[in-house]
Amino acid sequence: MKKNNKTKIVSAVLIVALLAVLLLLDNTKGVPSMLLTVLRKGAIYALVAVSMNLLNGFTGLFSLGQAGFMLLGAYTYAALTIPVESQTSIYQQYPGGGVGFSITEGLTNAMGGFGLLLGVVICLILAGIVAALLAYVIGLPVLRLKSDYLAIATLGFAEILRAVVQYAKLGPVTNGSNLLYGFTSFDDFKIGSLKLSTVMPFVFSGLCIAVVVLLINSTYGRAFKAIRDDEVAAEAMGINLAKHKRMSFVISSFFAGISGALLAMYQASVQAVTFKAAMTYEILLIVVIGGIGSISGSVIASFLFVGCSEWWLRFLDNEKTLKNFNAKLIFAIIFGLIVAGIAVAIFFKQKKNGKLGANVPCIGTAIVALAAIGWDIWFVISPNLKLPLLRSGFRMVVFSVIIMVVVLFFRKGLLGDQELPDVLHRFGAWLQSRFGKSAKGGDAK
């Protein structure tokens, strides 16, 4: 009990500290805007990834409909919060379009800042509910399907949704295939002159993820895991498959809907074309990188993913000529180390699986790594100062190669099906045993 309380205090302190840092970042001049982008988008993607993990990782249902439910959430949120006076100009293609009211605007006028928050919360929940309702309706026929059929059917549903939203008859609400904008976004959250644009995504997304964590550790979450591990046994032990699968599907879609709304708030605009199957694939890859069945893995992976795709790998998209030989040498050494590191990691992994030797992955890795290092040496010797290959689009190639390496060689992802606190705890215990041992050895001497 005492230990439990201690953990609670520590986590509360950590959360407050995190929010304080975010608040500081929001209101300090000179903070790289990319950092804020990564934090905001990462927090939102974390929620989608967690919602997908609930289905794919914890219930064992391979669904690819996430983008569709996000789309519903985004449109629901946007349509309900566009200020009344801007509705005519936004819906100019559909005269008389727009819902004619704005929940956030109405509540802000009535109650001020608290009204804004209340309005946003109401609209986020409505966004989730709309997505969840649809999931409830389609869940019955779709969830009877097995693995890949389920995947392709949910993918199909997402595509249908995208087409329906762009349907001209729905134009007065969805604005057809045109942009929706001008609705309440994160930038509208302020305390006095303090901006909360990064704090708010963390608050909303964090609360939702907390609910998912609570759910997973409840008796229903355990039932989901039983279905994932062995459906036949789960059913024989009294778990109603249809009911529980549907429940998982509906909850996952609920949070996907909310995250869609959050994404709309972040982007300050919504358009159906962005919610393509490619978006679902990206989220799936986040889940895989983090570890299927690990909430903390999904959260960490979404920040890594967004960080890599938006920021850290950006330099790959621009041509670059190095200044002098020293810069070239430093580049070559770093490059060589990265290549060698990845190769060694793959070898180590294969050895752990007991497969090291003359197998195809190892030979392939060796050839690729040797070629890369050979090129590296050649590059140092050559008089050329311009870095080759770097131009628009290279970032995504490197990025997808990294993803393939993870998928092929590090299938468990960052955390497998473990959670970060457990891993840290075990790492601590391991360190302690190591440390304790060496201390003992010292004593003996």
Partner 1 sequence: MAAKILPYLLGGISVGGQYALIAIGYTMVYGILRLINFAHGDIFTVAGFIMVYAAATMPLYVTIPLVIILTILLGVLVEKVAYKPLRTAPRMSVMISAIGMSYLLQNSMWYLTGGLAKQYPTLPWISDKITVAGYTTSRVTIITPILTIVLVVALVALIQKTKIGMAMRAASRDFETAQLMGIKINNVISFTFVVGSGLAAIGSMLYFSNYATVTPTVGAMPGLKAFVAAVFGGIGSIPGAVIGGFIIGICESFIKGTGATTFSDAFTFALLIVILAVKPTGLFGENLTEKV
Partner 2 sequence: MNNVLTIENATMQFGGVVAVDNMNLRVDEGEIVSLIGPNGAGKTTAFNVITGVYAPTNGRVEFCGKTIVENHPQGKMEKLYKGQNNGQYTHVLKPTPDKITKLGMARTFQNIRLWKSQTVFENVLIAKHCRTTANFFSATFRMNHAEEQRQREECDELLSVLGLENVRNELATSLPYGQQRRVEIARALATQPKLLLLDEPAAGMNPQETDELTAFIGKIRDDFKLTVFLIEHHMDLVMDISDRIYVLDFGKLIADGTPTEIQNNQRVIDAYLGVSNDA
Give the footprint of partner 1 on this chain (CB under 8 A): 56, 62, 138, 141-142, 144-145, 147-149, 151-153, 155-157, 159-160, 162-164, 166-167, 177, 232, 277-278, 281, 284-285, 288, 292, 360-361, 364, 391-394, 396-397, 399-401, 403-404, 407-408, 411
User: Which run of H or of E encompasses 71?
Assistant: helix 66-81
Task: Answer yes or no whether residue 140 interacts with partner 2 by CB under 8 A.
Answer: no
Q: Residues 211, 304, 380, 406: which binds partner 2 (CB under 8 A)?
A: 211
Q: Which residue from 159, 310, 317, 417 is in contact with partner 2, where contact means CB under 8 A? A: 417
Of 15, 34, 32, 4, the C-alpha closest to 309 is 34
Number of residues near partner 2 (by CB under 8 A): 27
CA distances from 430 to 349, 424, 435 (A): 20, 10, 8
Tokens read off for 418: 């473990």
Which residue, among 247, 403, 315, 289, has the nearest Cα to 45 in the 3D structure? Answer: 289
> CB under 8 A: which stretch of 222-230, 320-328, 330-338, 428-436 binds partner 2?
222-230
Identify which of residues 263 and 288 has a Cβ nearer to partner 2 in the complex: 288
Does 327 engage in binding with partner 2 (CB under 8 A)? no
Whole-angstrom Cα distance, residue 119 to residue 396?
38
Binding site partner of 237, from partner 2, partner 1, none, Cβ cut-off 5-8 A by kind: partner 2
196 binds partner 2 (CB under 8 A): no
- Amino acid sitting at position 437: K
423 near partner 2 (CB under 8 A):
no
Q: Positive or negative, the Cα torsion across 370, 372, 376, 382?
A: positive
Q: Which is nearer to partner 2, 310 or 417 (CB)?
A: 417
Query: Least distance in Å: CB of 249 to partner 2?
Result: 13
Among 234, 270, 284, 342, binds partner 2 (CB under 8 A): 234
For the record, the structure tokens of 320 come out as 């670059």
Take residue 197 and report the two structure tokens written for it: 């644009």
> Distance between CA 256 and CA 149 in Å, rounded?
21
Please choose which of partner 1, partner 2, none residue 187 contacts, taking the beta carbon within 5 to 8 angstroms, the exact cut-off set by kind. none
| Core vs surface per residue 139-148: b (16+ CB within 10 A) or e | beebbeeeee
Are the beta carbons of 291 and 280 closer than 8 angstroms? no
Least distance between partner 1 and beta carbon 34 (Å): 21
- Residue 288 has a CB neighbour count (10 Å cut-off) of 24
- Taking the complex as a whole, how short is the minimal distance between the CB of residue 170 and partner 2, in angstroms? 32
CB 228 to partner 2: min, Å: 8
For the bound state, the minimum distance from the C-beta of residue 316 to partner 2, rounded and expressed in Å, comes to 38
Q: Smallest distance from the beta carbon of 97 to partner 2, in angstroms? A: 37
Question: Could you tell me if 102 and 80 are in contact, meaning their C-beta atoms sit under 8 angstroms apart?
Answer: yes
Helices (H), 186-230: 199-216, 219-229
Element (H, E) at 255: helix 241-267
Q: Binding partner of residue 215 among partner 1, partner 2, none, CB under 5 to 8 Å per kind?
A: partner 2
- State residue 259 phi and psi, 5-degree precision: -70, -30
Minimum distance between the CB of residue 398 and partner 1, rounded to whole angstroms?
A: 9
Q: Which is nearer to partner 1, 22 or 289 (CB)?
A: 289
Closer residue to partner 2, CB minimum distance, 88 or 218: 218
The burial of 115, by beta-carbon neighbours within 10 Å (0-12 exposed, 13-18 middle, 19 or more buried), is given as middle
Give me the residues that bind partner 2 (CB under 8 A), please: 211, 214-215, 218-220, 222-223, 225-226, 228-230, 232-242, 247, 293, 417
